[in-house]
Amino acid sequence: MAEAKEKKKKEYNWNEFSICETTVMMLKKAAEDGVETAFVRAAEMKPCPIGADSACCKHCSMGPCRLNPKDPYSRTGVCGATIDTIAARNFARMVASGAAAHTDHGMSMLDIFREVVHGTIKDYKIKDEVKLREVAKSIGIEVEIKKKVKRDGREVEVKEPRDTLEIAKELCEELEKTYTQVEGEIPFVKRVPPKTVETWRKLGIVPRGSMREIMELMHRTHIGVDQHYENIVRQCSRTALSDGWGGSMVATEISDILYGTPKPLVAPVNMGALKEDHVNIIVHGHEPNLFESMIDSVNDPKLIEKAKEAGAAGINLTGMCCSGAEVLSRHGVPHVGNFMSTEAVLVTGAVDAMAVDVQCIKQGLATVAKCYGTYLFTTNPRCWIEGAEHIELDEKNPRECTDKIVEKAIERFKSKRPEKIVIPQRVDMGVHGFSHEYINYMLGGTFRASYKPLNENIINGKIRGVAGVVGCTNPRVRHDWVHVELVKELIRHDVLVVQTGCSQIALAKAGLLKPDAAVLAGDGLAEVCETVGMPPVLGCGSCVDNSRILIACAEIVKTGGLGESIADLPVAGAAPEWMSEKAISIGHYFVASGLYTVFGVTFPAIKGTKFYKHLFEELEELGLGKWGFAEDPIEMAHMMIAHIDKKREALGITGPRERKLFDMADRRALDVV
In the complex, which residues of this chain contact ligand SF4 (CB under 6 A)? 57-60, 62-65, 77-79, 81, 86, 223, 321-322, 338-339, 360, 471-472, 501-502, 543, 580, 582
Locate the DSSP E strands across 470-580: 495-499, 537-539, 571-575
Q: Is 65 annotated as a binding residue?
A: yes
- Please report the beta strands in 79-173, taking only residues with DSSP state E, as ranges in sequence order: 144-151, 154-161
For the CB of residue 398, give the shortest distance to ligand SF4 in the complex, in Å. Answer: 22
Distance CA 72, CA 544 (A): 35
Q: Does the bond joining 64 to the residue before it have cis omega, within 30 degrees of 0?
A: yes
Q: Is 79 annotated as a binding residue?
A: yes
Closer residue to ligand SF4, CB minimum distance, 87 or 410: 87
Q: Is 286 annotated as a binding residue?
A: yes
Closer by beta carbon to ligand SF4, 337 or else 535: 337
**Minimal distance in Å, beta carbon 634 to ligand SF4?**
22
**Which residues have a Cβ under 8 Å from the Cβ of 410 and sit 6 or more positions away?**
279, 303, 306, 307, 310, 312, 315, 352
d(CA 508, CA 56): 39
Write the single-letter amino acid at 670: L
**Residue 540 counted as an annotated binding residue:** no
Q: Which is nearer to ligand SF4, 64 or 656 (CB)?
A: 64
In the complex, what is the shortest distance from the CB of residue 284 to ligand SF4, in angstroms, rounded to a whole number?
9
Residue whose CB is less far from ligand SF4, 321 or 477: 321
Question: Identity (one letter) of the amino acid at 505?
Answer: I
CB-nearer residue toward ligand SF4: 86 or 591: 86
Contact 483, 468 (CB under 8 A): no
At 195, the amino acid letter reads: K
User: What's the min distance (Å) between Cβ of 505 and ligand SF4?
Assistant: 8
Q: Where are the alpha helices (DSSP H) in 244-312?
A: 248-259, 288-298, 301-309
Is residue 236 part of an annotated ligand binding site? no
Beta bridge mates, 598: 574, 628
650 half-sphere exposure, CB direction, 13 A CA radius: 15
Shortest CB 101 distance to ligand SF4, Å: 8
- 321 assigned to a ligand binding site: no
Tell whether residue 543 is among the known ligand binding residues.
yes
Cβ-proximal residues to 566 (8 Å cutoff; 6+ apart), any chain: 192, 193, 196, 550, 553, 554, 557, 593, 594, 595, 625
- Least separation in angstroms between CB 359 and ligand SF4: 6
- The 3-class SS string of 590-627 reads HHHHCCEEEECCCCCCCCCCHHHHHHHHHHHHCCCCEE
Q: Any known ligand binding at 472?
A: yes
Work out how close the CB of 397 gets to ligand SF4 at its nearest, in angstroms, rounded to a whole number.
Answer: 27
Angle of helix 546-559 versus helix 248-259 axis, rounded to 10: 90
Task: Closer to ligand SF4 by CB, 60 or 215: give it.
Answer: 60
Residue closer to ligand SF4 (CB basis): 114 or 220: 220
In the complex, least distance from residue 251 CB atom to ligand SF4, rounded to whole angstroms: 12
Helix axes 229-242, 581-593, angle to 10 degrees: 100
Closer residue to ligand SF4 (CB): 584 or 595: 584
CB of 53 to ligand SF4, least distance (A): 15
Buried b (16+ CB within 10 A) or exposed e, 384-416: ebeebeebebebeebbebbbbbbebbbbbbbee
d(CA 594, CA 568): 8
Is 383 among the annotated ligand-binding positions?
A: no
Q: CB of residue 619 vs ligand SF4: minimum separation in angstroms? A: 23
The set of residues, in sequence order, having a beta carbon less than 8 Å from that of 426 and lying 6+ positions away, is 21, 22, 270, 271, 272
Decide whether 79 or 197 has the Cβ nearer to ligand SF4.
Answer: 79
Three-class SS of 119-130: CCCCCCCCCCHH
Residue 553 labeled ligand binder: no
- How is residue 564 annotated by DSSP? S
Residues belonging to the binding site are: 48, 56-57, 60, 65, 79, 286, 322, 360, 472, 502, 543
Binding residues for [Ni-4Fe-4S] cluster, as ranges, are 286, 322, 360, 472, 502, 543
Q: Which segments are annotated as binding site for [4Fe-4S] cluster?
A: 48, 56-57, 60, 65, 79
